Amino acid sequence: MGHPSPELIITAGRAQRQYWQDVWRYRELFYFLAWRDILVRYKQTAIGIIWALLRPFLTMVVFTVVFGKIAQLPSDGVPYPILVFTGMLPWQFFANALSECSNSLITNSNLISKVYFPRLIVPTSAVIVSLVDFFISGFILLGLMVAYSFVPSWRIITLPFFIAIAFAAAMGAGLLLATLNVKYRDFRYVVPFILQFGLYISPVGFSSTVVPEQWRWLYSLNPMVGVIDGFRWAILGGESSLYLPGFLLSVGLVVFLLWFGIRYFRAYERTFADVI
């Protein structure tokens, strides 16, 4: 970082042109903030990182019992625990990312009011932390696949694409909520509600094939429907199919949400230090 810095002009009311250059220059901070949150989370806990495995595992057991055994919902020909888990994995990632991201600016308010760096780093790091959790709980899925001798097809290589969509969905919504949260702390109470609600209207505990065909497009307005269906398509292989119009609608919505989230965040970012 020893290179001479270019001239920087700050003019009232105008966004800085060097913003994205700055984001690149501060790239190590993405890593350090995420690293801090991960380190801190399991300090002074007895079983540490096992918590990241235990919580999704127990939720999966409950969902399998409730939806698979008691409600007897169809499983598209795969073991029900695997069906549930392929839905829960992206959902839990989205839910954690969204709640961490929307609170990230508030919990780091001391940084924001005392040091300069591109503010975008804070919410992004929060999502990265959730991504790490996501990969850890991915091991449970591997375990389940081994236990049920389930071999995924070639489609599994498309999985990163669906992870990217989930990431974008969480970022877009998270940036929007984080920005609103700075000024209106009401959104601290809104987010848990959205997530609680979202768990039931997203196809987490069941397959989206239970939704009648003529309503599938409406159902796809929930961006997580596209993500979860995509996960199932990529992991479960053969029997599960992707409802393409709905999926494209979901992806379009996610792209719009991300664009709008970044724009909204950038518009308000300059006032964070004064308002927070």
Partner 1 sequence: MNLPIIETRYLSKRYLLDHQAQEAPRTFRDVMVQGSQTITNTLLRPGRRRRLPSAQEEFWALKDISFDIQPGQRVGIIGRNGAGKSTLLKILSRITEPTQGSIAIRGRVASLLEVGTGFHPELTGRENIFLNGAILGMGQEEIRRKFDEIVAFAEVDRFLDTPVKRYSSGMYVRLAFAVAAHLEPEVLIVDEVLAVGDMAFQEKCLGKMQDVAGEGRTVLFVSHNMGVIETLCDRCILLDRGMVKADGAPKDMTELYISQSRQMVAEGFEHQTHKPFTFLNAALCNTQGDNISWVDEGQSACLHLSFRLNQPLKGAEIGIQAHPQNSQDVLFATALSDCLPAAATELAAGDYTAQLTLPGTLLRPGIYYFSLFAHIPHHEWLDHREHALRLTVKSCGLTDPRKYVLEKCGHVRLEGDWDLRQPDAQVDRVQAQPLVAQAQR
Do residues 235 and 144 make contact, with C-beta atoms less than 8 angstroms apart? no
DSSP letter for 3, please: S
Return the amino acid letter for 161. F
Using an 8 Å Cβ cutoff, are 180 and 264 in contact? no
Kindly tell me which of 114 and 200 has the beta carbon lying closer to partner 1: 114
- Within 173-192, the residues that bind partner 1 by CB under 8 A are 183
Choices 57-65, 71-79, 84-92, 263-271 (CB under 8 A): range interacting with partner 1: 263-271
109-143 residues labelled b (16+ CB within 10 A) or e (exposed): bebbeeeeebbbbbbbbbbbbbbebbeebbebbee
Q: By C-beta, is 45 or 153 nearer to partner 1?
A: 45
Please count the residues of this chain forming the interface with partner 1, following the rule CB under 8 A. Answer: 37
Binding residue (CB under 8 A) for partner 1 from 21, 107, 113, 196:
113
The token duo for 56 is 């999704």
Residues 1-40 that bind partner 1 (CB under 8 A): 1-2, 4-5, 7-13, 26, 28-29, 32, 35-36, 39-40
Coil/strand/helix, residue 199: helix
Which of 72, 110, 149, 214 is in the footprint of partner 1 by CB under 8 A? 110
- Residue recorded with tokens 């389940």: 144
Which are the contacts of 138, defined by CB distance < 8 A and separation ≥ 6? 89
Q: Give least dist CB 5 to partner 1, A.
A: 5
Nearer to partner 1 by Cβ, of 13 and 212: the residue is: 13
**Is 251 within 8 Å of 224 (Cβ atoms)?**
no
Considering only residues 46 to 105 of the shown chain, the ones binding partner 1 according to CB under 8 A are none
Residues that bind partner 1 (CB under 8 A): 1-2, 4-5, 7-13, 26, 28-29, 32, 35-36, 39-40, 43-44, 110-117, 183, 264, 267-268, 270-271, 273-274
